[in-house]
Every structure is written in structure tokens, then in C-alpha cells.
Amino acid sequence: MIYGYARCSTNEDKQDINRQKRELKKLGSKDENIYSEYESGAKAERAELDKLLKAVKQGDTIVATEVSRLTRSTKQLCEIIDIAKAKKIKLIIGTFVVDCTQDKIDPMTDGMLKMMGVFAEMERNMISQRVKSGMAHAKDNGKVIGRPTTTEDDIPAIFYKHYPKYKSGDMNKAELSRVCKLSYPTIYKYLAIVEQKERRE
């Protein structure tokens, strides 16, 4: 069985994971066997990656478009290689094949893979450093860092239109979310703001 793994760091509004999925299908994985998620590559515990590593059996193959999609941590890459060796599976990263079905990995292959992991981790650290430097520079110039605080004035009219029905019990949160075409977390945020205002009054 050929399994694919796709990962992006930020949400689907900012990054398109479908390009990776198309590449994974070219590498032999089917849609139903592709595990995908939006998580940091440096995060040690990732739900979909953990599921994938538990699902694979001897003789299976894991495909990814590049090492940085699997992980941006050299330590975690070594752990994934150990799992691949223990389960006797193949790792295919782009055009780079790591055959762990045998007792030993070719030393050159093992070294190349770990070197790729080092570069992936170094790239993450450089990006992080640039982001921190940019934020510090913006802060020094008086710019507000992070998301602006949501206020009563930011709440759309459609929420206020249907809020009385929710308050009277004629509508629950799920229905309020649906009619307002707003996500559940957004509904919770708006309710907290409005209810806090009512308590003050």
C-alpha cells in the first residue's frame, strides 16, 4: 500500500495543500490513502502523521513531496527513519527513495536523508528569525502586532438580526452559525462580546 503525507504550516485560506496532493498521486498514492494537515513541521505531535505512522505495515510505502513536509526537525526525522526501519517500509520523498525493507539502509542514503533534514530545520530557523526580526522592526515603528481586538462595532448586522431568536431559545448556536454564515468559533466570540455588554448594562 502506498500512503501519502501532505502538510502546510498555516490554514487553507493562506496555503493550498492540493498541489502536494496532486504530486502525491503522481507518486502512486490514492486520495483515500493521503493523510493531510495544517500544522507546524517542527511540532513533535501531529495527529495525521501519527495516524499514518501507526497505519503503515511491513512492505508499505510513505510518499511526501519533500523532507520539510514530513518534518522540520532533525530529531523527529531520525525517529521517523527508525520507525520505517522497524516496520520495514519505504520512504519516497520526491524522487529520493529510502528503502527500509532490508535490514540496513545504505550509509550514503542514510546520510543524504539526514542532511536534507538538517537543511529543512535550518530553513525553518531562518524563517523564524526573519519573522521575529520583522515583528520587532514593526513594533519599533509603532505598528500593532497580531490580530486586532474584535469590538461590538465589528459584529455584522446579520448577527444582531438573529441574536434575539437565540436569546429567546428559538435558535441554538449551530442554527445561529448557519443562518449568519459564520463559523462556530466566530459565533462564540460574538456571543461573548454581546453578553458581556449586556451584563455591564
Q: What is the pLDDT of residues 105-148, one digit of tens each?
A: 777 667 666 766 666 566 656 655 665 666 666 666 766 555 66
In whole angstroms, what is the distance from residue 124 CA to residue 103 CA?
A: 32
Q: In this predicted structure, what is the pLDDT of residue 116?
A: 66
Is residue 31 within 8 A of residue 49, CB to CB? The reply is: no
Residue whose cell numbers read 519516497: 92
pLDDT tens figures, 20-37: 999 999 999 999 999 999
Mean pLDDT of 60-65: 94
Within 13 Å of residue 78, how many CA atoms lie on the same side as its CB? 8
* Cα–Cα nearest to 39, from 72, 62, 75, 80: 72
> What residues are annotated to the active site?
9
Q: In this predicted structure, what is the pLDDT of residue 101?
A: 83
- In the predicted structure, residue 171 carries a pLDDT above the cut 60: yes
Amino acid sitting at position 56: V
Average pLDDT, the chain: 82
Q: In this predicted structure, what is the pLDDT of residue 76?
A: 83
Q: In this predicted structure, what is the pLDDT of residue 120?
A: 59
Q: In this predicted structure, what is the pLDDT of residue 197?
A: 80
Is residue 97 within 8 A of residue 116, CB to CB? The reply is: no
What is the pTM for the complete model shown?
Answer: 0.56
CA diameter of the chain? 72
- In the predicted structure, residue 54 carries a pLDDT above the cut 90: yes
* Cα–Cα nearest to 55, from 82, 13, 83, 97: 83
Mean pLDDT of 58-72: 89
CA 30 vs. chain centroid, Å, equals: 20
